[in-house]
Amino acid sequence: MYCYNLLTIQSVTLLKFMSQTIANSSNSLSDSFSRADWQRGYQSLRTEQAYSIDRIDGELPLELEGTLFRNGPGLLDINGQAYGHPFDGDGMICSISFHQGKAHFANSFVKTPEFIAEQQAGKILYRGVFGTQKPIWWQNFLDLKLKNIANTNVIYHGKKLLALWEASRPYRLDPATLETIGVEDFDGALRPGQAFTAHPRLDPETGDLWGFGVEAGPKSTITIYKLDASGKLTTSCQHKVPGFCFLHDFAYTPNYRIFLQNPVEFNPLPFVLGMRSAGACIGMKPNTPTKILLFDRTGKLTTLETEAGFVFHHCNAFEQDDEIVLDSICYADYPKLDPGSDFLDVDFDRVVPGALYRFKIDPKTGAVSRSILVKRSCEFPAINPKHVGRAYRYAYMGAIPKAEGNAPLQAILKLDIETGNQTIHNFAPRGFIGEPVFIPRPNSVREDDGWIAVVVFDAAFDRSDVVILDAAKIEAEPVATLHLKHHIPYGLHGSFTPQVWLNS
C-alpha cells in the first residue's frame, strides 16, 4: 500500500547507525507470513458487544487504570457488497477499560445518518474517498457527496468522546455506553461540512488540543484550531496555500505548527464524471519538491522546500537551539489507487517500504537537512505523550519482522534515538498489528516507564488480542495478553485516557 522515500543518507549517519543492535523477542523473528492469514483481518465485525475479558495471560498491573479507545473501519461491506477500499469502511469505536487488574471490552458503530441509511437499504448508497463507487457507473455521475465515515481516530477531551474523520466534523459519543450522540460543532464554532482534524496534538503542559482542517483546491485553505482543556474551540489562524493540499497529519511544538505539503495534484474530472473515486484522482507531481509549512504562534507562515516525498504520519517535533527537529515516516510516492484493483491482492514485493527520517529545519536561513533513523519498513509512530513537542529519546512504531523489503506490520519496534539501538517485539508469523499506544505509568519520571498497548489479530485463532508490553523492555514477554472473543478488523488510530466508566 505504501511507497518508500529513498533518500540520500549522510555518511555520518551511516557510521552511527551501522552500530545499531537489534534485540529480538522470545518469538522467532520469522520473515514469512500467509496472505490468507493477513486477509482474514479485513473481515467485517457485524456485532456490537460488551463483556468482561476473562481470558488473560500474564497479569494486568494494578497501576494501569483507564480506557483505551480505538477507531477504524468495522464494516467493510454491505450484505456482501464490498467497499472499494478498507479505508472507506464504517467507523467502529472499541473501548478496553482497565480497572483494579481487570478489563472490559465494548464496541459500537458510529451511527451517522449515512450508516443508518445504508443499513436500512442493505446496499452501498454513497461513494467513498479511497475506492468505493456505487454499483452502476452512471449513479456516480456528478454525485460529489461523500459520507462521513468517522473511522480514523477517537479522543476523549473536554469531557467529550469524539470520533474523528478529517474531511468533516467529528461525531460525539457517550464514553460509558459508546452510544452516538450526534455531530459535534463545538457550540457552533464548526459550520456544516467544515473539515476537522483526525490527528490532533495535545500540549502536555497547557492541556490544549491542537488540530487543523483543510479545504483543498487549486489554492487550499488551512485552518488551525485550538481546543482548550475545557473543550472550547477557537480558530488560531487561517491561511491560503498555493496548490492542492493533501495533509493527513501535522507536527506540533510550543512555537510552531508544522506541515509537509506533499507534492501531489488532483484531477477532478474523472471524479466528477463518476469514473473514479477521489483518491484515485490524486498523483505525484513530477520534479516538484515537498514544501515545509511553518506556522508560528502568531499565524505567520514560512514556506521552505525539501526533496520530494510523501508523508502520512509524523512522529514528533521539537525545538533545539535555532532549529526545528521533525521526525516523520516518508515515502517516495503517493500510493495511487488503480480503479478496479483489489487492495487485498497487493503485491508486497512491488511496494517499496516507508522509513523514519529526521529533518532539521532552520526557519531563519531556510536550510533543511535530513537523515535516516529507521530504514526497516515501519508506520504508526508513537511516543510518550508527555514529550509531544519536546525533545525525546524513544519512539515506538509498527514494523515488519524482516530487515528489508515490505510486508504487513507484525512487530513493534522501539528506537533509542540517542544510541541508535532498535529493539523488536515480534508477533509473526500469524500475528498482525495496528498502531501502538504509549500509556505512561502514573507518576513516572523515566521517559520509557510505562506500557505499550497494541491490538493484534491472531490468525491462528481468528481473534484479536490486546497486548500490553513493558515500554522499557518491549522485547520481553508481554506483561499481559487479553484474548477477545472475536476479531477486530485492522484499525487506524486511538488514544488512552486515565478515566474509567464503570457502567460501560
Question: Residue written as cell 536561513?
Answer: 365
How far, in Å, CA of 233 to CA of 120, rounded?
A: 35
Please state the φ and ψ torsions of residue 109, each to the nearest 5 degrees. Answer: -75, 150
Q: Which residues lie across from 468 on neighbouring strands? A: 453, 480
Query: Does residue 449 come out as left (phi exceeding 0), alpha (psi in the -120 to 50 range) or beta?
Result: beta
Query: Does residue 254 come out as left (phi exceeding 0), alpha (psi in the -120 to 50 range) or beta?
Result: alpha
Beginning with the edge strand found earlier in the chain, give each strand of the sheet holding 411-416 in spatial order: 22-23, 422-426, 411-416, 394-399, 378-382
Residue type, 233: L
Q: Is residue 74, in this structure, part of any structural domain at all? A: yes
Strand runs labelled E in 10-138: 22-23, 50-52, 56-58, 66-75, 77-78, 81-82, 90-99, 102-109
Question: Among residues 39, 120, 114, which one has the least CA distance to residue 79?
Answer: 120
Which are the contacts of 355, defined by CB distance < 8 A and separation ≥ 6?
A: 4, 5, 329, 330, 372, 373, 374, 375, 376, 377, 378
How far, in Å, CA of 113 to CA of 45, rounded?
A: 20
133, three cell numbers: 463507487
| pLDDT given at position 150 | 97
Class of residue 187 by CB neighbours under 10 A (exposed 0-12, middle 13-18, buried 19+): exposed
Question: Helix count (H) and strand count (E) of the chain?
Answer: 4, 36
- Number of independent structural domains in the chain: 1
Please state the φ and ψ torsions of residue 18, each to the nearest 5 degrees. Answer: -65, -20
217, three cell numbers: 483546491
**Contact criterion met (CB below 8 Å) for 186 and 231:** yes
**Contact criterion met (CB below 8 Å) for 300 and 238:** no
How far, in Å, CA of 361 to CA of 325, rounded?
A: 6
**Contact criterion met (CB below 8 Å) for 237 and 224:** yes
pLDDT, tens digit only, all 504 positions of the chain:
333 233 222 322 322 332 333 344 434 445 579 999 999 999 999 999 999 999 999 999 999 999 999 999 999 999 999 999 999 999 999 999 999 999 999 999 999 999 999 999 999 999 999 889 998 889 999 999 888 999 999 999 999 999 999 999 999 999 999 999 999 999 999 999 899 999 999 999 999 999 999 999 999 999 999 999 999 999 889 999 999 999 999 999 999 999 999 999 999 999 999 999 998 899 889 889 999 999 999 999 999 999 999 999 999 999 999 999 999 999 987 766 666 678 888 888 877 678 999 999 999 999 999 999 999 999 999 999 999 999 999 999 999 999 988 999 999 999 999 999 999 999 999 999 999 999 999 999 999 999 999 999 999 999 999 999 999 999 999 999 999 999 999 999 999 999 999 764
How far, in Å, CA of 49 to CA of 169, rounded?
A: 26
How far, in Å, CA of 491 to CA of 93, rounded?
A: 10
Q: Is residue 27, in this structure, part of any structural domain at all? A: yes
Q: Within 97-156, where are the H helices?
A: 113-121
Q: Is residue 4, in this structure, part of any structural domain at all? A: no
Residue 225, CA atoms < 13 Å, CB-side half-sphere? 24
Residue type, 380: F
Which are the contacts of 36, defined by CB distance < 8 A and separation ≥ 6?
A: none
Q: Is residue 47, in this structure, part of any structural domain at all? A: yes
> Can you tell me whether residue 292 is helix, strand or coil?
strand
How far, in Å, CA of 461 to CA of 458, rounded?
A: 6
> Can you tell me whether residue 110 is helix, strand or coil?
coil
Q: Is residue 373, in this structure, part of any structural domain at all? A: yes
What residue numbers bound the domain in which 341 lies?
Answer: 11-497
Q: Which residues lie across from 305 on neighbouring strands? A: 291
Q: Is residue 129, in this structure, part of any structural domain at all? A: yes
Q: Is residue 6, in this structure, part of any structural domain at all? A: no
Q: Is residue 3, in this structure, part of any structural domain at all? A: no
